[in-house]
């Protein structure tokens, strides 16, 4: 009950109080029942289908192809329609409406009169308005190639140096003071090389420099170390990402 009340409050906050909202506490079985006399109202769906209420999925016409007066005349002259009577009699319990042959909101309304032409919703549908099928995801994805692509993009991204003051060549590390943040950081040799390479350059330049040192470290590990250093330098506001 609280969820329903909350939904009503959200509707009123968005739409105002001009449209009253009433909660019907009757069971679905009783809501599906038919009166002996024709109803005194019509329900027109946004797509044009003319029903007697929202729980009986039977269409007496479609506007604007059919006028409301014609639809109302069909309701009065055919009431109660045999198709609707059979449907209502098949629903004996509250859960029966969900297992019926025609479920409201889930199934398309049953037309009790011949269609006036056009689409079932009463509108001509342009072919180009129908979205194409969603592309199927390949069954097998090469994760190695995907990783290489992502790493390549990260290494090629340009950076610039923020307003900093630093000491030393970086061969044995370096102290860097960030002017704006008023913080001081100590960098190891790798981070110092990355800082220099990304001063108007890219992390790839730092990878190439470290790879030329002839160490036994695999290139993939060098790339991972460089990108890790880049993330750290950006977090410390020493490097600024380019566009």
Distance of CA 78 to the CA centre of its chain: 44
In the CATH scheme, what is the code of domain 152-241? 3.90.930.60
- The pLDDT of residue 125 is 46
Interval 153-210: pLDDT, tens: 999 999 999 999 998 777 788 999 999 989 999 999 889 989 999 998 999 999 998 8
Rounded to an integer, the average pLDDT of 208-235 is 89
In this predicted structure, the answer to whether residue 61 has a pLDDT above a threshold of 80 is yes
Average pLDDT over residues 29-40: 68
Quickly state the pLDDT bin for 239 (edges 50, 70, 90). Answer: very high
pLDDT digits (tens, 9 = 90+) for 67-83: 988 899 888 888 888 88
pLDDT at 122: 44
Range list for CATH 3.90.930.60 in the chain: 152-241
In this structure, what token pair is assigned to residue 51?
A: 């029903």
pLDDT score recorded for residue 119 = 43
Kindly state the average pLDDT of the residues 108-115. 76
Higher-pLDDT residue of 200 and 114 is 200
- How confident is the prediction for the chain on average, in pLDDT? 81
């Amino acid at each position: 009950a609280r969820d329903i009340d909350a939904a009503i409050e959200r509707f009123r906050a968005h739409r105002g109080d001009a449209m009253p909202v009433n909660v019907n506490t009757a069971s679905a079985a009783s809501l599906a029942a038919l009166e002996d006399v024709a109803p005194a109202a019509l329900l027109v769906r946004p797509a044009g289908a003319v029903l007697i209420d929202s729980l009986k999925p039977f269409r007496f016409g479609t506007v604007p192809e059919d006028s409301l007066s014609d639809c109302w005349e069909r309701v009065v002259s055919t009431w109660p329609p045999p198709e609707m009577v059979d449907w209502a009699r098949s629903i004996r319990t509250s859960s029966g409406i969900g297992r019926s042959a025609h479920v409201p909101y889930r199934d398309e309304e049953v037309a009790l009169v011949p269609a006036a032409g056009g689409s079932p919703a009463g509108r001509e549908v342009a072919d180009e308005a129908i979205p194409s099928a969603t592309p199927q995801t390949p069954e097998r994805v090469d994760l190695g190639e995907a990783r290489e692509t992502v790493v390549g993009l990260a290494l090629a991204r340009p950076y610039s140096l923020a307003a900093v003051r630093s000491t030393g060549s970086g061969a044995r590390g370096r102290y860097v003071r960030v002017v704006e943040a008023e913080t001081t950081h100590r960098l190891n040799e790798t981070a110092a090389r990355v800082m220099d390479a990304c001063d108007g350059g890219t992390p790839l330049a730092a990878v190439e420099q470290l790879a030329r040192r002839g160490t036994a470290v695999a290139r993939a590990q060098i790339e991972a170390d460089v990108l890790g250093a880049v993330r750290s330098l950006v977090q410390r506001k020493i490097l600024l990402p380019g566009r």
